[in-house]
Every structure is written in C-alpha cells, then in structure tokens.
Structure 1
Amino acid sequence: MGIVFMVLYFFIVAFVIEISVILFNLTGLEEEVSRYQVVSMLTNTGFTTDEAQLIIDHPVRRRLSMFLILFGAFSLAVIISSITNILSSDLRLKELMIINLVLLVLLMTGKTPIIRKKLKTKLNSEMEKKLEISELPIKDALYLEEDDLVTDIVIEEDSPFIDAKAKDIIGKEEDISILFIKRGKVSIRHKLYDETLHEGDQLFIYGNKQAIEKKFS
C-alpha cells in the first residue's frame, strides 16, 4: 500500500508540473523554458539568472512561482512522512486517487484550445490591470506585433555606417527606430538621429524583424 501511495503522490506532482507548464506557456514563456523553471522551483534548486528575470518581472508568473516553491517544500515533507509511515494503514489512498483524477481533468482541460485562449486572455488582462507599461517586461511592452524585435547592433571597424549620421542610415519610411546609442559607458538619447556613429558604438533598435535583418545584414 505504501508503494501505491508514493506512486499516486508522484502522479500529483507530475500533474502539477504539467498544469504549471501550461500556465507559464500561456503567459508567453516558451514551453521548454517553462518546464525547466517549474522543475527548478519545485525542487528548490534555483534557476539561471537571465531566465529568473523572466519570472520575477512578470506578476502572474511570480505568483505561480510562489505556489510552486511552497508546493515543492510541502511535497518533500509529504514524501519523508510517507516513508516514515510506510507500514501504516492510514495512507488515504482513496483521497489521493480523487486528487489525481481532479488534476488529470484540469490538465486535459488546460490543453484544449478554447480554454487555453480564455486563460491566456485572463492572464494578460490581470497583468495589464496590475502593471504600468514601464513595469512590463520588454517583450510584453514592445512586441505588439508578431514580427516586432528589440535588438542591438554593434558598429564594427569595417562597418559602412562609420562616420554616418543615424538619420542617414534609417529612413523615415522604414519600420525601424533607434532607442538609444551606447558609446562606452555613455548612453546617448538627446538629438539621437543627429549623432555621428563611431566604431564600437552599440545601437539599440526596435522595429520590424525583417526590416532590421535586411538593413543590418
């Protein structure tokens, strides 16, 4: 009976992982990244700095991560306790089976396109209600269209843009905007398009991905 209890509880953990992956994915996080982060939070093993920022900067993901960290700590206590009571008859297998069935239904429901669409709309609206645009992650604030891109371009020593003004590089009709120019430790924002570019300058730009790739290929 003890082995059955352990198996049922591990099924609960697996269902929680998959449901959490779906929820993270609906907030815009890639599925593989979502799964890695969920497992990391459940096991309290930590996660990489760059990807951690994707969680911390997003209000919905942040709440999900708090639940997963607490659930992971609780699960560890349950597993240790179940091993201690492996010979006990009071393992509540019926309750565990019911929990598994409920989580399975939630998981299958979360995979249906209609529910995913509704959940995605709900999660996005929750984020928009709670945050000013200045608090949103760059992707959520600026990636308004599927082909939008924020990136940086470094002016190399053989670049044709050296000694050219920013306004001569990017025409008014092009779907590209310069956010700022980083020169060493200085960030240039004032009269940006009148600035003459030098070797080593770093241009932070925003616009259509295809237009950016064509211009700076």
Structure 2
Amino acid sequence: MFIYLAIILAVIEIFVILFRLTGLKVEVSRFQVISLMTGTGFTTGESELILGHPIRRKLAIFLILFGAFSLAVIVSSISQFLSEGLQAKEIFGSAGAVILVFGVLKLKSVRRVLAAFFNREMKQNIELADLPVRDVFLKDKEDLLLHLSIYETSSLAHQTFQEALPNHEGLEMVVLFIQRGDIIIRTHLYQTKLHEGDQLLIYGAKEVILKVLHDDILIMKEKQKEHELPVNPIP
C-alpha cells in the first residue's frame, strides 16, 4: 500500500509539472490533477482552464483513465499478493520507473524542451478560436481584459466613449464590443452613446485601464457588492 501511495504521489507531481509547463499555476495544477485522478471536485470554475486548453485536455484524459484503472490494479495486486505472493522486484520496479520519470522532469533542461514542444504544438495544430481567452489576450501580466458594466452614476453614462475620453486613440486600450441586452454592437463603438445597463469589453494595458476607468470600475464594484454579484475584471 505504501508503494502504491508513493506511485500515486509521484504521478501527481509529474502531471503538476506538465500542467505548469502549459502555463497553469502550481496551486491550480495540483488541485486539478488530484480532482481528475479521484473524480471529485472537478466541477470548480478552475476546471475551465483545463477544458479550454487542447494540450491540458489530453493530459486530463490520461489522468481520468489512470485514476479509474489504478484502483482496479491495486485491488488485483493485493489479491495476487494474498493468493500467490508478489515478487518485491516487480513492486519496486514499477515504483522506481515512475519516480525516475518524476526525477527527469525536475531537470530544468528537460522542462525547457517540453515547454518548447508544447508551444510548438499549440502553434502548429491549434486554431486561434480553440484557445482559451487568457491565452489569446493575456500574453503579459500587464494585460487586462475588463468586462465593464455601465450604471446611472457611471462617468461614461449618457455620452460616447469619444466624448468621455477624447484622447482615447493615444491610450493603450481598446473597446472590443458593447453589449446592450441581447444586441452586440461592434461598429462605431467610440461614437455610440452609452446607457445604463450596457456592458463593455475592454482590452489593453492594466495600468492604463485601471487609471482611466478608475471611477467607473469603483462604481461597478460597489453596485455588484450591493447585489452580491461577482466582479468582472479578469486579472
């Protein structure tokens, strides 16, 4: 049982490293790997980071299958041990192979090669539309994708974006679209008068967006807090 536990822990750490090489944070990687192997907890919002990424999906498929079959293997091994006796070299051989793989993946040179391979696979085989939003837009930690809600007291309300920010062309931010109810507005965005209830998707430099739209973001947070709604900015 201790050998089996060691194998499971080694497999978990192996896939934590592999998920990290695709750009996933270590704490998110470890939780999702354990969730996939055990079939519990994978309904969290973070699971979208796995499902929306083609390479992570392939890794997840293996983990799901490994989690399902590993239980059957351990039950079979215990039965064989109790009935015939299982040779120690078979047990330690399996554990040693997994730990060896884990040790190899800890090498920086190996991780660099795998990271380059994953990136090359993404560029060659994956369509842009298949990538998660974070991988498409948030190329740098200074990038921000903001879903801004307009309220009656917002500074942008009852005027166009161009009227509110006449120097918008010189700023590192762009409006991607305006959602008004069920209608998506994609043309003449800066000349469209904004109304209460409009939803703006804005992309650009985090520092610029937070500075220029500080008051509107603060109003949105306060309103959403009143209604106990989640805040929309994507860090």
Superposed CA offset, 1:160-179 (max 9, x none)? 11112123345111110111
User: Hey, what's the Cα distance between the residues in 2 that align with 1:157 and 1:93?
Assistant: 73
Residue 181 (structure 1) aligns with: 178
Q: Which amino acid aligns with 2:213?
A: F
Task: Name the % identity.
Answer: 44
Aligned position for 1:27: 22
Once the two structures are TM-superposed, the CA of residue 11 in structure 1 deviates from its matched residue by 0.9
Instruction: Give a deviation string over 1:173-202, Cα, whole Å, max 9, x none.
Output: 111011111122222112211111111211
- Which amino acid in 2 is paired with 1:81? S
Residues 89-131 of structure 1: CA deviation (Å, up to 9, x unaligned): 4324312312322322322332333322222121121122111
Inter-partner Cα distance in structure 2 for 1:157 and 1:114: 55
Using structure 2 for the length normalisation, give the TM-score: 0.83
The letter of the residue matching 1:180 is: F
The residue number in structure 2 matching 1:145 is 140
Q: CA deviation at 1:213?
A: 1.0
Structure 1: gaps spanning 5 or more residues:
1-5
1:194 corresponding residue in structure 2: 191
Corresponding residue to 1:119 among 114, 119, 136: 114
Higher mean C-alpha deviation, range 94-103 or range 128-137: 94-103
> Residue in 2 aligned with 1:160?
155
CA distance in 2, matches of 1:70, 1:21: 17
Give the partner amino acid of 1:114.
Answer: S
Does 1:40 pair with 2:57?
no
Structure 2: runs of 5 or more not aligned: 215-235
Counterpart CA distance in 2 for 1:169 and 1:123 is 44
Query: 1:211: how far off?
Result: 1.0
Cα offset, 1:39, TM superposition: 1.0
> Does structure 1 conserve the Cα–Cα contact (< 8 Å) formed by 2:54 and 2:131?
no
Q: Separation in 1 of the partners of 2:163 and 2:29? A: 42
| 2:169 equivalent in structure 1 | 172
Cα separation, 1, equivalents of 2:162 and 2:43: 39
Q: Distance in 1 between matches of 2:63 and 2:136?
A: 26
**8 Å CA contact 2:54, 2:130 repeated in 1:** no
- Of 96, 102, 105, which aligns to 1:107? 102
Cα distance in structure 2, aligned partners of 1:36 and 1:46 = 8
In the alignment, the residues of structure 2 paired with residue 46 and residue 83 of structure 1 have an alpha-carbon distance, to the nearest angstrom, of 28
Q: Which residue of 1 aligns with 2:218?
A: none
Task: Return closer, same or farther for 1:107/1:169 CA change in 2, 3 Å cut-off.
Answer: farther
SS at match of 1:85: helix
What's the offset of the Cα at 1:45?
Answer: 2.5
- Could you tell me which residue of structure 2 aligns to residue 209 of structure 1? 206
TM-aligned CA deviation for residue 28 of structure 1: 1.3
Give the match for residue 3 of structure 1: none
Alpha-carbon separation, structure 2, partners of 1:44 and 1:91: 29
Aligned partner of residue 184 in structure 2, secondary structure:
strand
SS state of the match for residue 36, structure 1?
A: helix
1:38-73 deviation digits (Å, cap 9, x = unpaired): 111111225125323221221111110111111111
